[in-house]
Amino acid sequence: MRINLLLTPEMRATIPQSIVVAIDYGRINVRFSALDPKEKPIILSGDNVIIDGEEDDIIKWLKPFDGIAVGTGGPPQFERFCIMHIKDEL
């Protein structure tokens, strides 16, 4: 399985050997607007990467992180991201 991901330093520190960073587009800051206009936006920093590994290994690795930023399209420097959560039953 290949997935485009915002790889934060915390995530990089725990990446298992069974998962490979296939492509690293470099450092990027991603801004998520708050649903409530009175609240501050969420800004995440990390590396815009493509990871490659078995689906079970990727799920097991990412499960402890609450909300991961997954790429949804666009060129690397303007990649669009959405926040995804891994279901408890996986």
Instruction: Determine which helix (DSSP H) or strand (DSSP E) holds 59, and give its type and residue range.
Output: helix 55-62
Please give the pLDDT value at position 88.
Answer: 62
Q: What is the pTM of this model?
A: 0.85
pLDDT digits (tens, 9 = 90+) for 5-60: 999 999 999 999 999 999 999 999 999 988 898 999 989 999 999 999 999 999 99
How far is residue 24's CA from residue 47's CA, in Å, rounded to a whole number? 7
pLDDT digits (tens, 9 = 90+) for 59-71: 999 999 878 999 9
- As a dihedral over the C-alpha atoms of residue 42, residue 46, residue 49, residue 54, rounded to 10 degrees, the angle is -80
How far is residue 34's CA from residue 47's CA, in Å, rounded to a whole number? 22
Please give the pLDDT value at position 35.
Answer: 86
How far is residue 7's CA from residue 59's CA, in Å, rounded to a whole number? 14
Per-residue pLDDT averaged across 61-86, rounded? Answer: 89
